[in-house]
Amino acid sequence: MTDSPPESATSPRESSGATESQKTVEPRSETVKTGSASRYWLELIPYPPGSTRSLWLFVNDDWRYLDNPDPDTQASVQNAFCECSGRLEVLVWYSGDTIRGLIVKTK
């Protein structure tokens, strides 16, 4: 009897037929930062032609983008800046210049 629990039967180390790429699975390390957006820019028509339409937010002294924002996200961000700028703010989670998530909340 051993003190350590047995490894899962699905572990790649136990699979004799597993290829090398199946044996090495490492999580991708990505730094995610947060900040409050102070400006926004919404591409109504993608530029250059053929590219993805994006929502751009100015966060921590640089522009960050969200590709293909849905209509509800667009409306919420626009309301936060245009109609309720004294009451709402846009908080952003980003990695590099790519937006990973955002919320519109009361100040």
Nearest to 39 by CA among 62, 73, 16, 68: 62
Is position 45 within any domain?
yes
The predicted-structure confidence for 59-101, as pLDDT tens digits, reads as follows 999 999 999 999 999 999 999 999 888 999 999 999 999 999 9
Tell me, yes or no, whether 70 lies in a domain.
Answer: yes
In a domain? residue 60: yes
CATH for 41: 2.40.50
Q: Would 46 be classed as within a structural domain? A: yes
Q: What angle do CA 69, 41, 101 make, to 5 degrees?
A: 40
Contact 80, 70 (CB under 8 A): no
Banded pLDDT at 47 (limits 50, 70, 90): confident
Residue recorded with tokens 């290829």: 19
Domain contains 6: no
Query: Residue 82: which domain range?
Result: 28-106
In a domain, 38, yes or no: yes
Mean pLDDT taken over the chain: 83
Q: What is the model's pLDDT at position 18?
A: 53
Choose between 11 and 54: higher pLDDT: 54
Which residue do the tokens 């519109």 mark? 104
For residue 94, tell me if it sits in a domain. yes
Question: What total number of domains does the chain contain?
Answer: 1
The pLDDT-based confidence of 11 (bands split at 50, 70, 90) is very low
